Amino acid sequence: MNDFKNIMLAYAASASSLFAAIETRTLITIISAVVLQILFFAIGKAIDVGLQIYLHRRKFASTRVAELQRSESCTSEE
């Protein structure tokens, strides 16, 4: 649902360029007005997903390091 909302917001923001492309009545401007919106959304989504994966792995790695340090300190005290 969130992706659909983002697509609708992107198209609403670019409505004037889409109407201008329809007004010029050339096929390439209409196609570019539609395709560029999809392309920019896909690039933005890929960056978002990549960043989420990176942050999740970094959080998991730091948690794992802290667990290892705790277990090492417990074994060294014995």
What φ, ψ does residue 26 adopt, rounded to 5°?
A: -110, 140
**Cα torsion 22, 24, 29, 33: sign:** negative
Q: Which amino acid is at 32?
A: S
For the chain, what's the residue count? 78
Give residue-wise pLDDT tens across range 1-30: 677 877 777 777 777 777 887 888 888 887
Q: Is the pTM of this model over 0.85?
A: no
Cα–Cα dist 8/18, whole Å: 13
> 76 is written with which tokens?
């060294």
